[in-house]
Amino acid sequence: MTEKQKEGVATDELDVVSKEELEKILKKVDKEASARKLTGSSRWIVYVIGVSWSIFQVYTAAFGLLPAQLQRSIHLAYAFALAYLLFPARSSDENDRLNWTNWVIAIFATYIGLYMALNYMRIMESGGDYARMDYVCAIFGILFTLEATRRVVGLPIVCLCVFFLIYSYFGPYFPGFMAHRGFSLQRIASHMYLTTEGILGIPLGVAATFIYLFILFGSFREKTGLGQLFIDISNAVAGWASGGPAKMAIVTSALEGTVSGSSVANTVESGSLTIPMMKRLGYRPEFAAAVEAASSTGGQIMPPIMGAAAFIMAEFLNVPYLDIAKAAAIPACLYFFGVFMEVHFEAKRCNLRGLNRDELPKFGEVIKERGHLFVPLFAIIIFLSIGFTPLYAALMGLVTCIIAGALKESTRMSPREIADGFELGARNAIGVALACASAGIIIGAITLTGLGLKLGNGLVELAGGNLLLTLIFTMITSIILGMGVPTTANYIITSTIAAPALIQLGVHPLAAHMFVFYFGIVADITPPVALAAYAGAGIAKSNPFWTGVTATKLAIGAFLTPYIFVYNTSMLWVGASWYMVLQTLITSCIGMTAIGAAMIGFFFAPMNWLERGLFFGGGLMMVVPGTYTDLLGMVLLMALVVFQRSKKARGIVSTATPMDA
């Protein structure tokens, strides 16, 4: 971004978004932003703990992982230590200094986190004959996990965990198919904490290996300036077009989606620049915030590096992560293409121009100056493509990030900055670690009681064996869970409960898991609780609810595409030739263009409601894979396009202003 552009943003009263305002917005919508601001010796102790956590993760990734229980136990202990030192029990205490009780709780919690690692051989050799101290520490392990999660992630997921713990104990008192014989406190505690079926299960195992490395890679992205490079490239590519800043936001978020899995963080990070620019150009505040929220949310489905849940999906399905990224490619392209086209039609409808070219950075100059920062991304893609594990690919991405940054003085990191990156990665990993640990409690209860099969059968029975109804029920469940549960935990829960029901009805396992994955993500922009939309609304000073509604309209592709790939898996590269995939991609892009025009109500000229309905129907036929539907949709859309051109030729033009809803 040029100095002139920065000055232009700063001088417009609408465009001033201070760092303090951004922090306040984050604290309102993101529990993890409420960490204490420590000083003095406490700050340095926390700093050393964070750096040592990252060093431990990098060391084990480079020289060999420890046995699962040891790796996960140590990972959990680090998360406990930082959670209880950084996050107060009450939000009103966030600026308080640490007192002796905080240190005692943190030390005790760390010991409980390490309990499995410290007693590994004895517990493994016990054959389930645990000592009394094992049960006591297991109970404390559950309690510390719940309290740390409440502090860092929020109360809703804790309430869900408590319900499943109560369900495990009081099984005989539950009605109908949910009833079971019930289990003792000792059995529940040991199952949840002394085995790999609960807290130390697969979700925490994935968080303790390659998810941490990718989070660490994301922290070094911030240190090297890769995020600003994305913004500058987006400016150069799309800033001059109609509605340029909005298109720039989409391109930036798509690029950032390759290295970040947080929709709220993406919204605040890039939205602090793009939202004021969109408002300055003339976009409605709700629309400006919605564009950034919808684009940033899509980052979690953008290969090659998606949200944390995608890595867990690979473990659950026991397939290479590259297969997950490959399957997500076309749906992700359709998502961003749909948002892009809606922004384009809104700009045309309101006659919004782009920025002047002399305000924008030159693409060639940007690449010449900082193009070397793309090397780590290429390294990750190459290592994944040739068959290396995500863990090794992330490690190589991290190493090449430091090396690439050192190639030029402007991006070179000092040893202190590298250490700061290690600490920032640790802070960013706390929430993911605890969300995965808490989700492990839910999975543990489901495996202990057999609830997963019961709920799957119950869901199918409730829908009368109808696949479409089952998909709708699953979508509603995922969105409701997503209102209070992080995406990763949401996917873990729904993939355990709802995905088996879809598979039971003949849905391909990958399509079933991708379905629940998608709707767990779009919960971030779906009212009434839409965290990414709320973050964008805070920056734009717009109405949060209507920002969420607008973001939902923009993200219509994310609501339609999952249904389509369930019924026809060619969109996921499953059982399809390259010709079928290419045909699906081309026709779907045409379809998303028509759907986007229908949502905005403009193509070449304004549309009435009948035209909008026909455009939407024709676009939907193009998106649905199949030769006959493609031909019907093409004929209908061609007729509509001719009609739209005739309206434009007759002088029927839009009189809408940017403030029109």
Residue 606 backbone phi and psi in degrees, to 5: -60, 150
Lowest-pLDDT choice from 107-116, 358-367, 371-380, 510-519: 358-367
Asked whether residue 536 is domain-assigned, the answer is no
435 within 8 A of 489, measured Cβ to Cβ:
yes
Residue 84 binned pLDDT confidence (cut-offs 50, 70, 90): very high
| Dihedral sign, Cα of residue 303, residue 308, residue 314, residue 316 | negative
Please tell me the predicted confidence (pLDDT) of residue 5.
40
Give the residue among 441, 381, 484 at the shortest CA–CA distance from 189.
441
Examine residue 638 and state whether it is found in any structural domain, yes or no: yes
Partners of 606 in beta bridges: 602
Host H or E run for residue 561: helix 556-567
Whole-model pTM: value is 0.84
Name the residue among 435, 453, 413 with its Cα closest to residue 307.
Answer: 435
**In this structure, is the dihedral angle defined by the CA atoms of residues 622, 624, 627 and 629, taken in order, positive or negative?**
negative
| Inside any domain, residue 596 | yes
In a domain, 594, yes or no: yes
Res. 355: pLDDT tops 70: no
d(CA 545, CA 559): 18
Per-residue pLDDT tens digits for 280-339: 777 888 888 888 888 888 878 888 778 778 888 998 999 988 889 889 888 888 888 888
Q: Which domain holds residue 599?
A: 582-661
Separation between Cα atoms, residue 456 and residue 477, nearest integer Å: 13
Is residue 433 included in any domain, yes or no?
no
Domain annotation covers residue 255:
no
**361-385: pLDDT as tens digits:** 777 888 888 888 888 888 888 888 8
With beta carbons less than 8 A apart as the criterion, state whether 491 and 313 touch.
yes
User: What count of Cα atoms within 13 Å lies in the side-chain half-sphere of residue 157?
Assistant: 35
At residue 8 the predicted structure's pLDDT band, cuts being 50, 70 and 90, is very low
Domain count, the chain: 1
Q: How far apart, in Å, are the Cα atoms of 458 and each of 166, 468, 470? A: 20, 15, 10
pLDDT value, residue 92: 62
Taking CA atoms, 454 is separated from 185, 192, 459, 501, in Å, by: 23, 20, 9, 10
- The answer to whether residue 641 sits within a structural domain is yes
Q: Tens digit of pLDDT for each residue in 457-481? A: 777 788 888 888 999 988 888 888 8
Determine the average pLDDT of the residues in 112-134: 93
Report the C-alpha gap between 292 and 252 in whole angstroms: 9
Please report whether residue 212 resides in a domain.
no
